Amino acid sequence: MRSFLFLTFFALAAPMALAQDPVQVDAKHYKVMLENDQVRVLRIHYNPKEKSVMHEHPASVVVFLNTSKAKFTLPDGTTTTDGGGKAGSVRYADAGKHQPEDIGTVPIEAVLVELKGKSGTSSPVALDPVKVDPTRHKVEIENDRVRVLRIKFKAHDKTKQHEHPNGVAIYLTDTKAKFTLADGKTREGGGKRGEATWAVAEKHSVTNMSAKPAEIILVELK
């Protein structure tokens, strides 16, 4: 009898646990861009006046692709209207539940990097890009979970050699880049505006292959 009750409770509890996942309960507004054992990256899109359902996220970094206005309704019924942001801005949010609503006149377009696991798993880097190449690498946010960098390249620009821990790159502009690794080998990378890619820890220099400036947000994991 006790085993039956436990199994019954587990069968009921499992859907309840999933019920807070925005991808499960609101697939219209949240799409998975990439996922591994360290992050899940979501693309967020709301049309004006559209509202979500109550859901939750772990600690996350949000990158706004356009200027938007959003209202969050919290589980206790209180609301806040500072849920949006300016195009290209970045915000860190602790884990929590909310019900978003687009209260502006344009769609909300954003990329959300949800953090998994614990901090302190990344290896320290010797060639910190903020120190060796500060004109191109600026710290936007730093705490015990992440360091978020804004990286800007001029046309056909090239960085000094540096290194990063594992992270996620979000492209604010169409970007085509060449990476020269510590052993001299090269590879091409980059992405379209609004795309995100997993950036494995490595030492490299980066060349902007385009005749236009490029801007990237890099969420470095700690």
* Mean pLDDT of all residues belonging to the chain: 91
Q: Position 52: which residue type?
A: S
Q: What is the pLDDT of residue 120?
A: 66
Q: Position 221: which residue type?
A: L
Characterize 167-188 residue by residue with b for buried, 16 or more Cβ atoms within 10 angstroms of its Cβ, and e for exposed: bbbbbbbebebbbbeeeeeeee
DSSP states of 150-166: EEEE-TT-BPPSEEE-S
Is pLDDT of 6 > 50? no
| Mean pLDDT value across residues 87-102 | 96
Q: What is the pLDDT of residue 115?
A: 97
In percent, the amount of the chain with pLDDT more than 90 equals 85
How far does the chain reach from its first CA to its final CA, in angstroms?
46
